[in-house]
Amino acid sequence: MAQQRVDTLTRRDSLASVRDSVFLERVERVTESPKVYHAEPIGIDLMRDLGARKGEAEWNVGFAQKDKGTYDEILTFVEYEWAPVNRVGLEIEVPVVFHAPLGSGGERPPSDQIEGLKLAGMYTLQVDTVRHWSTALGYLHEVLLNETNAVLLRKPVDGQLFNPFLVTARRWTDNWHTLLYTGPRLVRRSGGGWEKPVFEANWNVHYMVPGTRNFVGLEVNQSVENRRSNYVLRPQMRVSINDHFLIGIAGGIPVNREKERVGTFIRLIYEPRSGNKTSRKH
């Protein structure tokens, strides 16, 4: 009986290994531009995959809720990303924020508004198919918009956000993935000078379910300002509905609760059919 149980477990492990190998081969096939399969975080999304191939594209719709103490902040966004050439990913995003007061007293919440317009690009410098390691450089620029009343007074732009970044990711086994997204965030206001710079490091580890695009993992968002680090822990999971639809769900647990409290985040992902049959989200 014990030997039969061992044999059964061995066959299951073997089948899982075969499913993983077939799945990875679909992405990393050598007949196309080199590409390594990486799990990407739910909160900090990339501009297409690392090693993106020409013709890949993706729509994202996101919803986030943050408890600000006296009111809830609800952020929603629409995002489109595509790869015009191999290894280059581009992105455009429009975030909109709403506020809901909690109770009748306390701080008055800010006005609802379109937060800005985000434009970003990323180039994958390195694709190491032997060590399953990829590295990319990118830049995100956001035009920050004023609240609705200021827009009506013909002062629509509040400032500019500049965010150069580095991404490095490695797949250690068929199922275990790590990724680091890091860089400074610099803001210049229209009516004044520069704000104090904030340095960000986003650490990620994920376990991919064998033979699927589903994963569970942890994303740690670290920000350093005035030599002080703040952390938000984001346990998360992603589920593939079919070949074109995925849904990602993440929590938001701030280690330092002075600025915000627990929150949630949902990302809906749609990948339209393209001529590149291996352009599935990783």
Mean pLDDT by 10 residues, the chain (282 residues): 51 54 58 88 93 96 88 93 97 94 73 91 97 98 79 75 98 97 95 91 97 96 92 97 96 82 94 65 58
CB contact at 8 A, 218 and 195: no
Return d(Cα 178, Cα 132) in angstroms, integer.
11
Return d(Cα 168, Cα 92) in angstroms, integer.
22
Fold type of domain 2-270:
Porin (2.40.160)
pLDDT of residue 6: 43
Every domain of the chain and the residues it spans: 2-270
Give the other-Cβ count within 10 Å of 174's Cβ: 18
pLDDT of residue 85: 97
Ordered alpha helix ranges (H), the chain: 2-28, 148-152
C-alpha closest to that of 36 among 139, 181, 136, 138: 136
Angle formed at CA 48 by CA 221 and CA 252, multiple of 5 degrees:
25
Query: Which residues, other chains included, contact 142 with Cβ-Cβ below 8 Å and sequence gap of 6+?
Result: 116, 117, 118, 119, 160, 161, 163
Phi-psi region of 159 (alpha: psi -120 to 50; beta: other; left: phi over 0): left
Q: Give the three-state DSSP class for 165.
A: strand
C-alpha closest to that of 98 among 117, 78, 74: 74
Three-class DSSP labels, 220-270: EEEEEECCEEEEEEEEEEEEECCCCEEEEEEEEEECCCCCCCCEEEEEEEE
Residue identified by tokens 């991919």 is 208
pLDDT of residue 256: 80
pLDDT of residue 27: 58
DSSP 209: P
pLDDT in tens, 161-174: 999 999 999 999 99
Return d(Cα 162, Cα 166) in angstroms, integer.
14
pLDDT in tens, 100-150: 887 766 667 888 888 899 999 999 999 999 999 999 999 999 999 887 655
